[in-house]
């Protein structure tokens, strides 16, 4: 029987409530170390946030998530590479528009600038990837694209001036008052590239937190 996304969310929430009740007693009795309990809870909360993000995206985009996220091994080589005929400043603008459209503000806001940088200069993402992810990223994206500070400044100013992007007090990027997804395609390689990077950065952060626990 197929389990719906909402049912999975409720199941994880129930499991979290149960662990929040049981773990403190286990720690007091010596049956579980405090660090292990915290690590288990952190993983469960991360899983819940991912499921809730997917649920919100499915609702927002009319259930099109499977068209956005195909299996990467089924995609042709260099399908995400930037065409040489498109100027680097436009690479940045396209990448930012799709990242702003598809990101989770609560989860990804502080990393959105990093995500856009990785989409237009793919070598920047390599340290955040596992061995398997790195091989797929290189195969699908290539490593030749890059940009300079002038390209970045031009694209940034265009996005700010048009009201598509605004910058928070801590430097985080968020959708501006005039941001619109009109013209953005859910099944495009731009959307696929953006989601791959956003999720890779999210998984990298989780691995770092687990290693530090």
More confident call, 116 vs 170: 116
Choosing from 41, 60, 79, the residue where a domain stops is 60
Averaged pLDDT for residues 10-19: 89
Q: Token pair 């990837």 is at which residue? A: 129
What number is the average pLDDT over the span 51-63? 67
Same domain, 78 and 49: no
Say how many domains are in the chain: 2
Q: What pLDDT does residue 73 have?
A: 86
Among 60, 78, 98, give the residue marking a domain's end.
60
Highest mean pLDDT among 150-154, 175-179, 202-206: 150-154
- Co-location of 32 and 92 in the same domain: no
* Shared-domain flag, residues 113 and 202: yes
Asked whether the predicted pLDDT for residue 63 surpasses 60, the reply is: no
End-to-end Cα, the chain, rounded Å: 37
Q: Are residue 20 and residue 125 in the same domain, yes or no?
A: no
Q: How far is CA 90 from CA 133, 153, 181, 202, in A?
A: 26, 12, 16, 25
Query: 55: domain range?
Result: 5-60
- Asked if the model's pLDDT at residue 176 lies above 60, the reply is yes
Whether residue 59 has pLDDT greater than 80: no
Same domain, 147 and 186: yes
On whether both 54 and 157 belong to a single domain, the answer is no
Is the pLDDT score of 125 beyond 90? Answer: yes
Residues whose CB is less than 8 angstroms from the CB of residue 138 and which lie 6 or more positions away in sequence, other chains included: 122
Which band of pLDDT confidence, cut at 50, 70 and 90, is reported for residue 62? very low
- For residues 110 and 56, state if they share a domain: no
Q: How far is CA 11 from CA 5, 8, 23, 37, in A?
A: 10, 5, 18, 19
Average pLDDT over residues 13-17: 90
33 pLDDT above the threshold of 70: yes
* Whether residue 98 sits in one domain with residue 25: no
Quick one: 120 and 163 in the same domain? Answer: yes
pLDDT, mean of residues 55-68:
56
């Amino acid at each position: 029987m197929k389990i719906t996304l909402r049912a999975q969310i409720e199941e994880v929430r129930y499991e979290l409530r149960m662990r929040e009740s049981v773990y403190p007693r286990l720690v007091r009795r010596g049956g579980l170390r405090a660090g292990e309990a915290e690590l288990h809870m952190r993983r469960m909360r991360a899983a819940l946030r991912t499921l809730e993000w997917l649920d919100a995206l499915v609702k927002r985009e009319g259930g099109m998530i499977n068209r956005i996220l195909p299996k990467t091994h089924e995609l042709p080589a260099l399908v995400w590479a930037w065409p040489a005929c498109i100027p680097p400043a436009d690479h940045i603008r396209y990448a930012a528009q799709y990242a702003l459209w598809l990101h989770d503000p609560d989860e990804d806001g502080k990393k959105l600038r990093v995500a856009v940088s990785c989409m237009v200069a793919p070598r920047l993402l390599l340290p955040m990837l596992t061995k398997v992810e790195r091989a797929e990223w290189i195969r699908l994206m290539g490593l030749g694209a890059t940009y300079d500070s002038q390209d970045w400044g031009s694209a940034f100013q265009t996005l700010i001036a048009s009201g598509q992007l605004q910058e928070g007090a801590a430097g985080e990027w968020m959708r501006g008052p005039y941001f619109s997804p009109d013209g953005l395609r859910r099944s495009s390689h731009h959307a696929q590239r953006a989601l791959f990077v956003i999720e890779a950065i999210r998984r990298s952060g989780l691995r770092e937190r687990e290693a530090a626990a």
